[in-house]
Amino acid sequence: MTQLLLLPGDGIGPEIVEATHQVLKAVAELHDLELTYRWGSIGFESLAEYGTTITGETIEAARKADGIVLGPVSHNEYPSINEGGLNPSAVLRKSLGLYANVRPAVNLTGITGPTGKPMDLVIFRENTEGFYADRNMHSGPAEHLVTENVSIALRRVTRQASMRIAQAAFKQAEQRRSRVTAVHKANVLRTTCGLFLECCREVASQYPGVVYEEQLVDSMAALLVRQPEVYDVVVTTNMFGDILSDLASELAGSLGIAPSLNSSETHAMAQAQHGSAPDLAGMNQANPISLISSTGMLLAWLTVRSGNMKFLAAANSIDRAISKTLARPEDRTADLGGAASTSRFTQLLISNLE
């Protein structure tokens, strides 16, 4: 029996998590998977009931679950940390050691980006340190107000974190087109990016069959627009990966269809790349593809962890159903030019599962 923890979150979160739940139930029945579901509370709902946006009980439930489906959260609107306004996503990534944020950017059926260029790459973003102030200190944030007019942010890059994200990227490249691009800013951040590149080069030496190259982050942004078809696996630090993956996903068609998996060897969490879109909350108009596709990635991850190939078959069924549903423009959600509601698109997708 495999237990998944479902965390609806804020804004459109409850709608797209329920859509994902419906797809999971259907694909589990189709492929004879024994899935059970536990629901938890995060975000504003948790804040109102418990005084914090994520409780210790929820963190422990996530630790015990076989996988997590996390809805979007409106953390920019939360009160201060001292008032319980923690970012649930960051808390779970740090608490569970989810060091790899894997973000594919791939053209889906009938969906083209603004440049019309083909895209099929995946970004491996280091997920636990870098310039992100909420996850790189043992205690407290890594931003400091020195005086009323001076603020400082600290960046942490460690050998351990850099080595393991590089290892994950090269392993994936062996399953794809055997090319890794390490993205950095070592011409300015010589010490931190220098250490990151040192680790990438060391790992590259262990994979002679994988082509390895390096690009400055600003150059990489331009190259993704100019020649995205060249790139296969991109590995980079936290903030650079966050920014470049949003760019790549939009170039591939839309942030609304972009999947994302946060993972380690022992835990994994599906999470849409986009935000909580509070202006669409409760309107049955949100596009659920990003979270559904992310959950497909979670099922594929469970294949590796459990050795049960039924999980991979289920993940592939979800991918094929998404493509088949998108093939009819009128069946897409409004953000993709169609007329389907969230619930209508979900039912169409379920009917296209094979």
Nearest to 11, CA basis, from 84, 98, 75? 75
Cα separation of 280 and 147, whole Å?
40
Does the active-site annotation cover 185?
A: yes
Report the half-sphere exposure of 10 (CA within 13 A, side-chain side): 24
Q: Catalytic residue among 78, 99, 132, 207, which? A: 132
For residue 213, the surrounding DSSP H or E stretch is strand 211-216
DSSP state of 2: E
| Residue carrying structure tokens 């791939």 | 106
Question: Which bin fits 115, alpha (ψ -120 to 50), beta or left (φ > 0)?
Answer: alpha
Active-site residue (options: 134, 185, 207, 212): 185
Catalytic residue at 120? no
Strands annotated E in 71-210: 100-106, 120-126, 143-147, 150-153, 179-184
Task: Answer yes or no: are the C-beta atoms of 73 and 87 closer than 8 Å.
Answer: yes
Sign of the four-CA dihedral 3, 262, 159, 54: negative
319 is annotated as an active-site residue: no
What is the enclosing helix (H) or strand (E) of 224? helix 217-226
Closest CA to 53 of 5, 20, 86: 86
Sign of CA dihedral 234, 217, 192, 132: negative
Catalytic residue among 10, 66, 232, 242: 242
94 is catalytic: no
Q: Name, in order, each residue with C-beta under 8 angstroms of 148's C-beta and a sequence gap of 6 or more.
A: none
Does the annotation count 132 as an active-site position? yes
Query: 7: which residues sit within 8 A by CB, 6+ positions away?
Result: 17, 39, 40, 41, 42, 58, 62, 68, 69, 70, 71, 88
Among 37, 120, 246, 335, the one annotated catalytic? 246
The torsion angles phi and psi of 239, rounded to 5 degrees, stand at -65, -45
Please give the positions annotated as active site. Answer: 132, 185, 218, 242, 246
